[in-house]
Amino acid sequence: MPLERPSDRVLAATLLAGVLFAATFADAARQRSAREAALQRTTELVTGLRLSDVVLFTEARYTRHLSQADLHSAFQDHPMALEHFPSGSLLPPPRLLLDHHETLDRKAASPD
């Protein structure tokens, strides 16, 4: 039956888009199972080489080894240096450094 009515055409187009939408989930599931072995091998490589970071940005050492960086490394080129690598503006500092810890020094009462 040809799509004579405008509503048929609109609904058919939406349905097609819906099918494609559902297909992305099927494709994702297929790719996940296809890559499982490679992911496993990558994890083994990380364990074997004792790696601690992923290679996302190789331009600066504090973005290459993000988890090993400290808060100063982005600014330590010279006093008053500004962070200037583009990737530095995309990545957060290591989470560890942003956490608020309990102060470790004793709270002494100040003598009056």
List contacts with other proteins (CB under 8 A): 5-7, 9-11, 13-14, 17-18, 20-21, 23-25, 27-28, 31-32, 35, 38-39, 41-59, 61, 64-68, 70, 72-73, 76, 85-87, 89-96
Q: CB of residue 66 vs other proteins: minimum separation in angstroms?
A: 6
- The amino acid occupying position 10 is V
Kindly tell me which of 9 and 109 has the beta carbon lying closer to other proteins: 9
Burial 2-36 (b: 16+ CB within 10 A, else e): eeeeeeeeeeeeeeeeeeeeeeeeeeeeeeeeeee
Contact 82, 75 (CB under 8 A): yes
What tokens does 46 get?
Answer: 């990380």
Kindly tell me which of 102 and 110 has the beta carbon lying closer to other proteins: 102
Kindly tell me which of 81 and 86 has the beta carbon lying closer to other proteins: 86
